[in-house]
Amino acid sequence: MSGFIAKRLLDTLIVVFLALTAVFAMLRLSGDPITLMLPADASAEFAADLRERMGFNEPIWRQYGLFVTNAVQGDFGDSLRFTNTGALTMVLERLPNSLLLSALSILVAVVVAVPMGVISSVLANTWVDRTLTVFSVFFQSMPNFWFGLILILYFSVTLGILPTGGTGGIQHLVLPTITLAAYAAARLQRVTRGSMLEVLKLDYVRTAHAKGAGFSSLLFKHALKNAMIPVITLTALQFGQMFGSAVIIETIFSWPGIGRLIVQSIEFRDFPVVLASVFAISVVYTLANLLADIAYAAVDPQIRYT
C-alpha cells in the first residue's frame, strides 16, 4: 500500500506543477496588470518604472524560472491589489470557507443520491425508478447558477426565510449547499443505480441468494460494497469539481471562498493571487482523487495489487 500511495503522490505533484505552468502562461497572455494598477493619467515613465520594479519587463522564461523557484518554497509573492499582503496568505484565509461549502455539498449529495440509486436498482423499470430517473436527468441538465438564482428568488425574495448570501450562520450555507449538491446528487444517483444493477446480476450474488441470504444482507453486505467502487471515484471527482467550479456559486451567494477570490483577482489581473488560488485548487482536487484511489484500493485489494 505504501508504494501505491507514493506513486499517487508523485502523480499529484506532477499535476499541480503542470496546472500552475498552464495558468502562468495564460495569465501572461491576458495583458499587462500595470495598466489596471495605475490611474488613467499616469505617465508612461512611471508605468515603465513600476513595471521594472515588479519584474514584468523581464523575459517570460526568466519570470517563469523565478516563479517556480519561489513557488517551491511556498512563496507566490504579494498581491498586486493589496500591498504587503501575501497571495498565499489571502488564499489560505478563504480556503476553510470553500472546503466547508464543498464538503457539506458532497455529503448532502452522497446521503441523498446513494439511497436513491439503490432504490432505483431494486425497483428497476417501475414507476419509482422512472420518477427518480426523471429527477436525476432534470437536475443534471440544469445549470447550477440558474438553479441558485431560482432558489434565491423563491426562498429569499418571495418567502424571506433564508438570506440571499454572505456568511454568519448555518442558514447562509443552505442555499449554496443545495445548489452545488443538486448536480452532484443527480450524477451519483445514476451511477449508483447502474453499478448496482450490474452487481445484482453477478453469479456470487445469485449464489448468496440461493444459500438463503436475507434481502438486506444480500443488498448491503454483498452487492453495495462492490457497487461502490465507481461511486467512490465519481464522489472524489465531484468534490474536486465542486471545489474548483464553485466560482460562479460563490459569486452569486457572496460566499467568501477561493472561487470568489479568483473572480475578483482576474478582474484586477492580480497574478500572484490567481496562481496561489490555482495551486490550492489543484492540490485539493488531486488529493481528493488520491483519497479515492486509497479508498477503492481498500475496498478491492485487486486494484491495490495491480
The per-residue pLDDT for range 201-256, each reduced to its tens digit, is 766 666 666 666 666 666 666 677 777 778 887 887 788 777 766 778 888 888 88
**Ranges 91-105, 195-209, 283-297: which has the least confidence:** 195-209
Averaged pLDDT, 176-194: 88
Q: Where along the chain do its domains lie?
A: 87-305
Which 3 state secondary structure label does DSSP give 42? coil
Residue 136 scores a pLDDT above 80: yes
Please give the backbone phi and psi of residue 78, each rounded to the nearest 5 degrees, phi first.
Answer: -90, 155
pLDDT for residue 108: 92
Residue 306 scores a pLDDT above 60: no
Q: pLDDT (tens digit, 9 = 90+) per residue, 269-286?
A: 778 888 888 888 888 888
Mean pLDDT score of the chain = 79
pLDDT for residue 21: 84
* CA distance to 48, 206, 244, 269, per residue, from 33 (Å): 12, 65, 24, 5
Question: Please, are residues 101 and 250 in contact by the beta-carbon 8 Å criterion?
Answer: yes
Close Cβ partners of 143 (under 8 Å, ≥ 6 residues apart): none
Global pTM reads: 0.76
pLDDT for residue 86: 83
**CATH number of the 87-305 domain:** 1.10.3720.10
CA distance 26 to 91: 20
Question: Please, are residues 279 and 76 in contact by the beta-carbon 8 Å criterion?
Answer: yes
The secondary structure of the chain as a DSSP string is -HHHHHHHHHHHHHHHHHHHHHHHHHHHHS--THHHHS-TT--HHHHHHHHHHTTTTS-HHHHHHHHHHHHHTT---B-SSSTT-BHHHHHHHHHHHHHHHHHHHHHHHHHHHHHHHHHHHHTTTSHHHHHHHHHHHHHHHS-HHHHHHHHIIIIIIIS--S-SS--SSTHHHHHHHHHHHHHHHHHHHHHHHHHHHHHHTSHHHHHHHHTT--HHIIIIIIIIHHHHHHHHHHHHHHHHHHHHHTHHHHHHTT--SHHHHHHHHHHTT-HHHHHHHHHHHHHHHHHHHHHHHHHHHHH-HHHHH-
pLDDT for residue 302: 58
pLDDT for residue 240: 75
pLDDT for residue 298: 65
Residue 11 scores a pLDDT above 70: yes
Residue 32 scores a pLDDT above 70: no
pLDDT for residue 22: 84
Q: pLDDT (tens digit, 9 = 90+) per residue, 147-177?
A: 889 999 999 888 888 888 877 778 888 899 9
Residue 109 scores a pLDDT above 80: yes
**Ranges 12-16, 262-266, 301-305: which has the least confidence:** 301-305
